[in-house]
Structure 1
Amino acid sequence: MSSLYDVSIPVYTDITKTTQSILKKGEEHFKAQGKDTAELAKLRIAEDMLPLHTQVFIIVATGRKLIERVSGGSPVDTPMKEYSLAECHELLEAHLAELSKVDRGAVDPRATTEVPCKFGPEEFKASARDYVFGYPIPTGYFHLNMVYALLRGQGVPLGKKDYMAEFMKTFTKA
């Protein structure tokens, strides 16, 4: 059976790296097309949808809560604001550094520890293991998918391989 660390920190690292990779590809595409890259952070599929910069913010903020709850560490403040594209890159880079410092020894013993989870105005409690599977992992994938869809909607040449590369990095060709 996989440990709590195995099903949380490396998975969230892959989500974060994939977000970073496809965002860079989106920026390169915008530059090649002569488009204003500042507009990239403001992309929305629908008017009532959160913009791309907020999708990135949620990935990072949720990952930081994941670290706090599974390791027992201190919270890292991630202010909700309008982030520029450069700030989105900085957020993702800083978050990867934070994820790389998480100690397996601090995480694995906390699998059955009850942790809080806020979803909108509602508050819940769950074991750290249930929390990982029920909130940060699905939330991370959801917002990664939104970033992907926003970029594809702008003609960024992304494919499934771009999405899957980080998740399949340990695979070997048969």
Structure 2
Amino acid sequence: MPLTIYALSVPAFTRGFTALYGLLDKAEAFASDRGMPLAELFDARLAPDMLPLSGQIQRASDTSKNAIGRLSALEAPRLPDDEQTFADLRERIAKTVAYLETVKPEDLDGSETREVTLNFPNLKVTFSGEAYLLQFVLPNFYFHVTTAYDILRHKGVPIGKADFIGGLG
């Protein structure tokens, strides 16, 4: 059976959000054990010009749901970036995963050749659906998931590679 756009996207996104959910659990326990305000982790960033933890989760959400919307006839939900707490971040993850769970493999049939155009300031890029997923979406999604992991690790949260990769069984 050949790889499909569905097989390369929806399960990867879902797994990434499962990892993020677990990272938030460990971060919350870490903060509680140390009497640390959760805002210290929520607003933490690796560099001044990078998004904080909350922004990394928002971008992972946007990247995954908007990719499915662009690659299918499904409308991606609009989620405002107004999360203020860890509970809000969990709710955003849950809403994103709930949307992904509505996607069927046949919704993405033929999307590998679908034209996707992205408009950036001073740049317009057109991809085939396959190139869009492989060259833009997946690297972008994993960048934000990895950066969320890195922010928490940098703040001392006791997480490791297994927390990022998740269960292998």
Q: TM-score, normalised by structure 1?
A: 0.88
Equivalent runs, 1:124-143 vs 2, <5 Å: 124-143=125-144
Partner Cα separation in structure 1 for residue 29 and residue 118 of structure 2: 37
Q: Name 2:95's counterpart in structure 1.
A: 94
Check 1:99–1:29 CA distance in 2 against 1; reply closer, same or farther (3 A cut): same
Instruction: Calculate percent identity across the aligned residue pairs.
Output: 30
How many residues get paired? 168
Q: Name 2:157's counterpart in structure 1.
A: 156
Partner Cα separation in structure 2 for residue 120 and residue 30 of structure 1: 39
Amino acid at match of 1:110: S
Q: Name 2:74's counterpart in structure 1.
A: 73
Q: Which runs of 4+ in 1 moved over 4 A?
A: none
The answer as to whether partners of 2:42 and 2:86 remain within 8 angstroms in 1 is: yes
* Deviation of 1:81 (Å): 4.2
C-alpha RMSD over aligned residues: 1.7
Alignment gaps of 5+ in structure 1: 170-174
1:103 equivalenced with 2:104 (yes/no): yes
Q: TM-score, normalised by structure 2?
A: 0.91
Partner Cα separation in structure 2 for residue 83 and residue 135 of structure 1: 28
Alignment gaps of 5+ in structure 2: none
The answer as to whether partners of 1:29 and 1:156 remain within 8 angstroms in 2 is: yes
* Deviation of 1:116 (Å): 2.1
More off after superposition, 150-159 vs 80-89: 80-89
Q: Name 2:22's counterpart in structure 1.
A: 21
Partner Cα separation in structure 2 for residue 117 and residue 16 of structure 1: 24
The answer as to whether partners of 2:77 and 2:99 remain within 8 angstroms in 1 is: no
* Deviation of 1:104 (Å): 0.8
